[in-house]
Structure 1
């Protein structure tokens, strides 16, 4: 009925005459009148100003026409999307990562995956490990690449340990002048007293890892700047805004000339690294592509680690 009402209102507005609208739509004029009258009784408002010549829609008629046009467009979009999805043999996969995964890492993963599975519709998003765990268990996420998720409902596969670096601004008590790269073993972190530290949200596994490490080192920092992701934390730290511990790939992407008035200390792997892995939920529908995606990600990270 909504489609008929939409057509009738559109044609009456265009023709300004009920009989001409009926002729254009190949229906009878009494039929259009009956549909319009039933709708007016249903909504309790007049949709057409019958005293005007040519006929005009009332304000209520114009608003109803707007809503019906929007509804028709939404239905068309839905039909188009469903037709699109029906072409994919394995359906839909939602893949998420935390900020430690750069585009340089995602590119080879997706290229290899789609070479084998062009019939999969995939959505790639960025999220935190805590939100990923909730979405995985709720079924709205299929795959997460990032911090470990330990949950009996989720399959977790460790892939690599990411090297970490300590960024030291020039106003820090442990800053060493006229140097960019310094040896971590030469630093005494217990000398840090309430210095500004850039961190990501405290409920994040990465934050807990760093906070525990600093506590063991006797470093008394002030988590004065909290940002939503590691990428922004790295950017602020590399602009001399405070101490931070960030994944080494973020430092390697910055030109040395841009690191004036900073110390960068690579933390030895035996002292601290960020474990990195794959968390996923396997279903019968996506079992084969998910298994292959696990292998592709593992192989890509092995190649990166080897380099």
Structure 2
């Protein structure tokens, strides 16, 4: 029997997990890795895609035109959570299952969010640079303990941030379309509207999926509501923030600073945000820890095998669901 072809355009799939490799190997799957930067006009990619039974997606987009030549494809699965880069309608029309691995990197992203909050408040990156250049003296920052944290989006990551923030004795304001009164009570979260969070929080962190209603959720109007001593943290999706409006707010010191792990265009080579001293930037690394990447790969591999052998994936994504 010919092996099943598993195409991966996620460079980290199976990289940190021998278990994920064994799951594929023991089920007659042949893995073909193609780096995302080599996809454009790549004949080898097109050929593999036409033969692939499964496609593991990283940060690259999956378009309807890609699927026109994927006649054998049974499953497209995101090596992670966000599926906004996948044309769900086109996949559904072709009867291709779409799946992801939600929650596997929630702790990792929550950890980074707290780290960025502290780094921004205490100017850790700037202090590191100054010290390396011979400076020795106080670098004045903002307090974190006892301050007000506004969490916009109380999914698994937002909840993880809330749990960690309790250790800093923070006042926590939470916004989500779905209220979980029990969780909010257990973790000392005060439900609040967007405007209340924006106008009162010392730190605001975003944890929402990208949809048409959340695109540019934080724009000029929203930034104007924030306190001049407040910080914005985004480890979710770059498109949630109007970057031009954020640039103006930071340049004009309308807010104290920002910490960004995600951007509208990645990598943000030409972004003027990179020139500002009151911005900390990281390369969309929120979910990248050894533990998170191993678990993600294992769930992805098992979902692929499930589908190839007539079972549902562990976490199927339904169109409109």
Shorter-chain TM-score above 0.5: no
Q: Which has the higher helix share?
A: 1
Q: Which has the higher strand share?
A: 1
TM-score between both structures, scaled by the size of structure 1: 0.32
TM-score between both structures, scaled by the size of structure 2: 0.31
